[in-house]
Amino acid sequence: MLKPDWIAVDWGTSNMRAWAMSASGTVLDEMRSDRGMGSLKPAEFEQALRDAIAAWDHKGTPIIACGMVGSRQGWVEAPYVECPAALDDAAARLVRVAFGAGYQLHIVPGLRCVGSDGQVDVMRGEETQVAGVLAEQPEFDGVVCLPGTHSKWVHISASEIVSFQTAMTGEMFDLMANQSVLRHSVSSDALDQHAFDDAISETLSRPERLAQAMFGIRAEGLLHGLDSAKARGRLSGLLIGAELAATRPYWLGQNVLVGGAPALVALYARALAAQGVPVQTRDAERLTLAGLCLARQSLSEARH
């Protein structure tokens, strides 16, 4: 039976991923489960984790987890760290959960931020991806964009997370595409990139017309036969364009890195490139693992 040096876990609302890790940070094995936080009652988390890592000899093995497992509705709440925050701040506040004889789980805390305008914001899970960026590029200074269900724009300076903003773009797209009247228009999985580009430009120029422009997708389909791929590209472009309009101070003239699922990263990189903003791109899993490795390193140092 495989004996990992430690176990890395990314435990979100819908899914859980676990990796058996070597001491040098190499992935030895991995597993995926659909037993995310959203489907579990508080008393079910322990068994869900045991089931997930049952194929490995894990007794006494440190387990480090990030994501919604540490939320108020998760296994144990890991209190938010206030921004500005250095990586060491979060690493020093790992929350320890003991379960059964010889078993230990450490949960990475999330971050909270109060903007200059008094707007409050939180993140849980994405802080580990940002840590992954700094693990790979310690001198990175600029903005990290993490698109997804709730997109994050994170300002980093002097190895600190200075501030961040969240946009519910991914969730809005899912709701519009699957539960609104637009579901009849965007049934295709294909996305027309020219329609996407035009919609980005349109909504960056007139973000206040977003609601009208979205209904226009339905009208175009009924009256002019707008095909599904163009409709999907237009909806995506309108919503991402509105996000870019709202976060302009984060990306204009900044060094930008976009990390996430490859297809979504490509769309954001395309949209930003059209505004003259060159970007670096990274895969979300790579960043998560790099961030969890950094947490593991901090935990080891704290014990010595």
Q: Are residues 11 and 119 in the same domain?
A: yes
Flag whether pLDDT at 117 surpasses 90.
no
| Measured CA distances, 87 to 108, 137, 160, 170, 207 (Å) | 11, 13, 7, 27, 35
Query: Does residue 202 sit within a domain?
Result: yes
Query: Does residue 147 sit within a domain?
Result: yes
State the average pLDDT over residues 146-158: 96
The pairing of beta strand 111-114 with beta strand 120-123: antiparallel
State the average pLDDT over residues 33-45: 93
| Range from 24-38, 94-108, 132-146, 258-272 carrying the lowest mean pLDDT | 94-108
Q: Are 134 and 156 in contact (CB under 8 A)?
A: yes
Domain total of the chain: 2
Q: Which residue has the higher pLDDT, 117 or 62?
A: 62
- What mean pLDDT, rounded, does the chain reach? 93
Residue 268 pLDDT: 98
State the average pLDDT over residues 104-119: 90
Flag whether pLDDT at 124 surpasses 60.
yes
Query: Does residue 302 sit within a domain?
Result: no
pLDDT grade for 91, boundaries at 50, 70 and 90: low
State the average pLDDT over residues 42-67: 92
Flag whether pLDDT at 304 surpasses 70.
no
Q: Are residues 116 and 148 in the same domain?
A: no
Residue 59 pLDDT: 85
State the average pLDDT over residues 61-73: 94
What pLDDT, in 10s, does the model give residues 139-148? 999 999 999 9
pLDDT grade for 104, boundaries at 50, 70 and 90: confident
State the average pLDDT over residues 279-295: 95
State the average pLDDT over residues 131-152: 95
Q: Are residues 24 and 116 in the same domain?
A: yes
Query: Does residue 109 sit within a domain?
Result: yes
What pLDDT, in 10s, does the model give residues 227-273? 999 999 999 999 999 999 999 999 999 999 999 999 999 999 999 99
Q: Which domain holds residue 250?
A: 139-283
Query: Does residue 130 sit within a domain?
Result: no
State the average pLDDT over residues 96-121: 88
Query: Does residue 134 sit within a domain?
Result: no
Residue 85, both tokens: 């925050």
Q: Are 49 and 102 in contact (CB under 8 A)?
A: no
Residue 60 pLDDT: 86
pTM, 2 dp: 0.93
State the average pLDDT over residues 123-149: 95
Q: Are residues 160 and 187 in the same domain?
A: yes
Give 164's contacts (C-beta < 8 A, 6+ positions apart): 83, 111, 113, 121, 123, 152, 153, 154, 155
State the average pLDDT over residues 52-66: 92
Residue 74, both tokens: 């998760």
CATH number at residue 196: 3.30.420.310
State the average pLDDT over residues 121-129: 95
Residue 103 pLDDT: 81
CATH number at residue 96: 3.30.420.300
My answer on whether omega of the bond before 84 falls inside 30° of 0, hence cis, is yes
- Highest mean pLDDT pick, 90-104, 107-121, 203-217: 203-217
